[in-house]
Amino acid sequence: MYKLIALAIVALITVLAGFSSATQIVYDDSLCAATRSLYTVSCSTGTNGLVTRGYSTLSSLPSFPTVGGFPGVGYNSTNCGGCYEVRYLPNGRAFNFTAVNDGGPTQAVLCTDEFLRLTGFTRENVPDNVQADIRAVPASGCGFTE
């Protein structure tokens, strides 16, 4: 009986791990700057840093310009360089982005051009609160070898 309950719990956790969560998304022009040094983002140095892994600028990352900030991705985070799928449900558009910075406690920050491409908005008509579903995906989804 206990084995069956334990197996059911493991199965439920496995299923739930694949679900995405609605997150506010915003944009930042500086994440579109190809020559921006990775020393200026949270995921710079440290054991888990992107500079430590041999990258120097945003454009040196295989997913550029789809890079961004994500909640909890701070200095030396194990989520630095993590790959996330962002999906804007009203139009079904989606892309993967590499986490290079902290997005703050409740939002993801994307390169402005990619944010606008995803949502279909222009700078002039972006609503105050844009929500998207975001989920972790394998690093290969952002062009990294695993």
CATH number (domain holding residue 110): 2.40.40.10
Label residue 105 exposed, middle or buried (CB < 10 Å: 0-12, 13-18, 19+). exposed
What is the structure's pLDDT at 146? Answer: 65
| 5 domain residue, yes or no | no
What phi and psi, each to the nearest 5 degrees, are found at residue 9? -65, -45
**Predicted confidence band at 145 (pLDDT cuts at 50, 70, 90)?**
confident
| 101 domain residue, yes or no | yes
Does residue 23 carry a pLDDT above 60? yes
**Predicted confidence band at 21 (pLDDT cuts at 50, 70, 90)?**
confident
| 36 domain residue, yes or no | yes
**pTM assigned to the model:** 0.84
Does residue 15 carry a pLDDT above 50? no
- The amino acid sitting at 76 is N
The span from the CA of 140 to the CA of 45, in Å, is 22
What's the whole-number mean pLDDT along residues 6-19?
38
Query: For all residues of the chain together, what is the average pLDDT?
Result: 89
- Contacting residues for 70 by C-beta, under 8 A, at least 6 apart: 79, 82, 84, 99, 101, 102, 103, 108, 109, 134
| 113 domain residue, yes or no | yes
**Predicted confidence band at 9 (pLDDT cuts at 50, 70, 90)?**
very low
Domain that holds residue 67: 20-142
| 131 domain residue, yes or no | yes
Rounded to a whole number of angstroms, the CA Rg of the chain reads 17
